[in-house]
Structure 1
Amino acid sequence: MSTSAKPSAPAPATVTDPLTEAVRAIDTTALDCIQVNAAVLAHATHGPHAHLELGGRLRFAPRFGEGRRLPTVEQTPAHQIAWMGGSLGLVLDARRPLTEGRALLDLLPEDGSPLYVVGDAWRMPWLPYHGHQHMDHSVLLRVADGGTRVEAVDAYDNETPYGRAEPVVCAYSRSQVAALFDGSSVLPVTVRSAPPAHRPVSETLAENARDADLLLAGDTPARYAAAFRDRPDQQEACMALLLETWLLNRSRRLHAAWAAHHAPGSTLAHTARDQAAAWDDLAGQCYLAARRVQRGRPVPPQIYTSLVELLRADARFAVQAAGTGPGETMPQEPAEVRRTVVETVADILGTAPEAVAATDDLSRLDGYASFQMVETVERLEDSYGVEFAPGDLEPAALRRVDGLVDLVLRTTAGAEVAHP
């Protein structure tokens, strides 16, 4: 059967299906095509926000190719799979690559749990890349209808040159699926649950800062930008740079979402958001440059300068976010701490910040009970890189925004290192 075989009507999504619920719940526009379906698995396994742990590390680690190859920040699927599992609370066990569709079908769990698969987007008819462009792409496959059919669950969301890719759940016959994956290399990855990741925010920020110190001490951003600027074939360079800035933009948006979740309203969250917005602007400029060079017009030279400046701004932000150093403190502004407290409680309850700010007694809010009080305390400790004294955790104070603000201000004022 041809690989262009069309799927049947999309499988009906039930409200109890954790995969389709996860696809709807996640902001998939901050994830690349390898991350996105692993993120769905994390959400389905550990609940909302679990996938955001992919965004904690603020990375810039380009691979400089030999010969005429341009550098790239894109990592191989095998490399991404190796580090994603620990962040997501999953055991991702990559098997040997296959080239036979029926061998892939034999790996599908009979209980309907998903198999994570990386294949060629050229062979996936639900994607606009189908029949147009070869590229690695992930999908979740699972048996349905008593094993007679197979569902493809793909949360990828992106505007492509061939049309829009949108999250889908498609059902195929087993023979169709075997035909779709026959003759191309497919990497199957079995999935098991592991304990969810609970890495302290301060540890992640410190690791980001160590990487950033090395970047600021060297010339990697300048070398990286120069490779594209000095490429004789500027059409090739601009198309490659468009992909690079797309990847960097998505990773910075994911980092901003991670920061907003762990430290809502904080300097960390606001600066991460501003950096992500700057990357969004640069990605737009690179798209414009690629279109101009395709029409024989010169490339706006400022995109290369902007690229270097933005990479170095990322690094300075990472150093600042990790604190000022042992023995020093970073005084907190009361208004900013109040905003952080309000947004933290609002995020935990899934309610509007205005409702939290207007409430004298948080226990009057629907859902704010002992469990939510504990989560608020833990989130604020993570946000500011401190540990509240047990004697300060009075229920009367923890039920009031003012009480929580005072707790943060007193604790950070006495801490050796306070994180924004």
Structure 2
Amino acid sequence: MNASAGPLSKASDTVADPLVEAIRGIDTTALDCIQVNAAVLADARHGPGSHVELGGQLDFVPRAGPHGLLPTVEEPAADRIEPMGDLLGLVLEGGRPMMDGRALLGLLPDDGSPLYVVGDAFRMPWLPYHDHQHMDHSVLLRAVDGGARVEAVDAYDNETPYGRAEPVVCSYDFGEAAALFDGSPALPVTVRAAPPAHPSVAEALARNAEGGRRLLAGDAPERYAAAFRDHPDQQEACAALLLETWLLSRSRRLHAAWVAHHLPGSPLASAAAGRAAAWDTLAGQCYLAARRVQRGRPAPPQIHPALAELLRADAESAVRAATEYSGEAMPHVPAQVRQTVVHTVADVLGAVPETVAATDDLSRLEGFASFQMVETVERLEDAYGVEFAAEDLDAAVLRTVEGLVGLVLRTTVGAEVAHA
């Protein structure tokens, strides 16, 4: 094939490209193969961090597999697309599945903007799954060189049994690109920008708590774990459990990013990060179990009770989070405000919080510029549910941690007096 491809290094210099720049600002290891390219579209359209709204919901809704297969938390790709768009500020409209590659590529916008497509990873040569495993996988396709060539942009990032998948841009002649989608159903999804319709932090936490209470009232975690433990074919069960814990681990990592984005430096953010790390550990144990069973050895017995325990811990944390955060405001204790400011600036700049805390002039930090100042201000306004007065947004105030802390404290105290 006359195709060119190259992995995207987040540290490399390339010609500015909105999709590539968006990928560089995303933790692609926190997203699955359907979410990740929708996340790229959201950040390219609405700015860095827009994609974390996908992490607001912390849920566990397994569905029964068909014909007695094992349960799964994985939803059909077609059912996920429109709800993802609502959260991301995108109108994602799925068309009818197509098996003619030229007809599919005929839907590419003439202006070079991307078409989101869900196809078969088995047919995508930039993926390790190529010629190995059939599975739904998203990709962004766009016309280049006046339509003579097609670029495939894919931000998927994962270690697979067949090798590593990493963010990549591939370029193909039109005919070669069309051949990749011949004979295998592909779902084209048109993309338009729209106002994000995500709920407030308090609403999201309350919804998560409601699901947590339902889970704690029954034995769903134990039944789910037992289905894998008691399955007669342990090779099949361990392979399926590996995928399940991978999906749950990524969703918990994305939820932790959502909490850190909206409640930076808070105890809720710390707790969410700890749970995400525990899920990552369990996914690693399930990988070990799958390898052992393939070699005729027993799976470590602790993985099944650990799975149920983590699901219960998620539910308990969801209930506790809604109780601890009423949605009225973040804590106004100066030390807590300072911690929030430090973590917010660190997140915006991609810096270490300790470095931010020790810097007396934030403009000396790498990446600090007008856009980052605006992003910091907006994040703090969202976190505390206030709007800073225009006359208080002096550059000297915004360049120091103490200046930002004082700005928050003055504004939140004023808001409390106004509502008293």
Superposed displacement of residue 367, structure 1: 9.2
Alignment of 1:15-414 (within 5 A): 15-197=15-197, 199-324=199-324, 335-348=335-348, 353-354=353-354, 356-358=356-358, 376=376, 378-380=378-380, 382-383=382-383, 401=401
Aligned residues: 412
Q: Distance in 1 between matches of 2:400 and 2:186?
A: 54
Cα distance in 1 for partners of 2:397, 2:14 equals 42
Give a deviation string over 1:326-357, Cα, whole Å, max 9, x none: 79999777544432221113334555534543
Q: Cα deviations across residues 222-254 of structure 1 (Å, max 9, x unaligned)?
A: 111111111111111000000000000111111
Per the TM alignment, residue 123 of structure 1 is displaced from its structure 2 partner at its CA by: 0.6
Change (3 A) 1:408 1:91: same
**2:273 alignment partner, SS class:** helix
**Which of 1, 8, 12 pairs up with 2:4?**
8
Distance 1:352 1:236, change over 3 A: closer
Instruction: Give the 3 Å change call, closer, same or farther, for CA 337–326 of structure 1 in structure 2.
Output: closer
Q: SS where residue 8 of structure 1 aligns? A: strand
What secondary structure is seen at the aligned counterpart in 1 of 2:3? coil
Q: Aligned partners of 2:216, 2:415: CA distance in 1, in Å? A: 28
In 2, the alpha carbon distance for the partners of 1:64 and 1:340 equals 42
Structure-2 change in CA distance of 1:33 and 1:331 (3 Å): closer
Q: Find the aligned partners of 1:87 and 1:342 in 2 and give their Cα distance.
A: 27
1:124 Cα deviation after fit: 0.7
Q: How far has the Cα of 1:34 moved from its partner?
A: 0.6
* 1:59 positional shift: 1.6
Contact 1:201 1:385 in 2 (8 A): no
Q: Equivalent residue of 2:33, what SS?
A: coil
The one-letter code matched in structure 2 to 1:218 is: G
Change in CA separation of 1:113 and 1:336 when aligned onto 2, cut-off 3 Å: same
Q: 8 Å contact 1:6–1:125 — kept in the other structure?
A: no
CA apart distance, 1:403: 6.9
Distance 1:298 1:358, change over 3 A: closer
The DSSP-based 3-state class of the residue aligned with 1:202 is: helix
For normalisation by structure 2, the TM-score amounts to 0.86
The one-character-per-residue Cα deviations of 1:348-405 (angstroms, maximum 9, x if unpaired) are 4555534543456779989989987775565345446688999x99999888645765
Deviates more, 1:233-242 or 1:335-344: 335-344
SS at match of 1:312: helix
Identity %: 73
| TM-aligned CA deviation for residue 219 of structure 1 | 1.6
**Structure 1 position 217, deviation (Å):** 1.3
Any unmatched runs of 5+ in structure 2?
none
CA 1:303–1:50 in structure 2 vs 1: closer, same or farther (change >3 Å)?
same
| C-alpha distance in 1 between matches for 2:24 and 2:259 | 21
- CA separation of 1:299 and 1:260: change in aligned 2, threshold 3 A: same
Per the alignment, do residues 369 and 325 of structure 1 end up closer, same or farther by CA in structure 2, a change over 3 Å counting? closer
Cα contact 1:259–1:269 (8 A) shared by 2:
yes
Counterpart AA for 2:145: D
Distance across 1 between alignment mates of 2:7 and 2:109:
19
Structure 2: how far apart are the matches of 1:271 and 1:239?
Answer: 29
SS, match of residue 68 in structure 2: coil
* Root-mean-square deviation (Å): 3.5
